[in-house]
Amino acid sequence: MTRKENLSYQILDGKAVSDKIRAELKSRVAALGAKSPPVLATILVGNNPASETYVKMKGKACESIGLTSKKVQLPGITTTDMLLRIIDECNADPQIRGILLQHPSPAQIDERAAFDRIAIEKDVDGVTAFGFGRMSLGIPSYPACTPAGIMRLLDAYNVKLAGLHAVVVGRSPILGKPMAQLLLNRDCTITVCHSKTKDLPEHVKQADLVVAACGKPAFIQGEWIKPGAIVVDAGYNPGNIGDVDFNGCAQRASYITPVPGGVGPMTITMLLAHTVESAEKAK
């Protein structure tokens, strides 16, 4: 059966949901009535081409809702101390309402120290250990943008999460781990899988909700999906390929995210939403 022949699944359309949220955010930025718009500072160390592209995309997204994006480009030889000083300057600048340190940093940088230097009220990308702890405890915080975007997308389709067995494939600090915590806080029962997990398909087969976040193109197979399960593909690999075999998984899923147009737009939208919220709080 091809994708078009199976009409029983519903697409979780991250592009459409994002567009709606961004329109609301634009009004909220206008309502701030600021003489100069709030700023999202994006710090980029070195010149990794993929990171350059992401920073450019984030800059354009900021402008589209009336925020200013300030790109701080640092040379690849930047030391941790130099980076910490730059972060301190951004923390002290009242116009800057959000700080994003683009991952990955060059090897000589202590990235954890740099992330943790970001003031909690400007940690709009959810990278500080303090922010992670607050998010895990269900205390107001800005969760990492990709898992936050997935939660907003599921909510936009009124997916009832309580009681679902969610299997998260991946445990990175920006995606798998916060995803598991957010789902746990919404009363899901959680299994977190990773590269050392034995018999991954058997775990995925138990899932009412699968979140694929392993960075392996088209890795999650249709025959692993329990009929009627919800499939969220957080993956983004070269060639616009997710971590899920879409055609195979759509044959069994009730809801599924496409790549592109699923989780990706929601991630950037959450970055914007967190920055706007930070600006509102500062006001």
Which residues of the shown chain bind ligand NAP in the complex (CB under 6 A)?
146, 169-172, 174-176, 193-197, 200, 213-216, 234-237, 243, 263-264, 267
Classify residue 274 as exposed, middle or buried by CB count within 10 Å of its CB (0-12, 13-18, 19+).
buried
Nearest partner of 116 among 83, 78, 72, 76, judged by Cα: 83
Q: Which of 157, 259, 165 is nearest to 209 (CA)?
A: 165
Distance from first CA to last CA of the chain, Å, rounded? 55
Nearest to 174 by CA among 126, 231, 105: 126
- Whole-number minimum distance, CB 82 to ligand NAP, in Å? 25
CB of 125: closest distance to ligand NAP in angstroms? 11
Position of minimal CB gap to ligand NAP: 172
Residue 268 beta carbon to ligand NAP: minimum distance, rounded to whole angstroms: 7
CA dihedral 100, 141, 181, 225 (to 10 degrees): -60
Shortest reach from residue 200's CB to ligand NAP, in Å: 5
Maximum Cα–Cα distance across the chain: 58
| Cβ proximity to ligand NAP, 106 vs 215, nearer residue | 215
Q: Tell me the catalytic residues.
A: 58, 102, 125
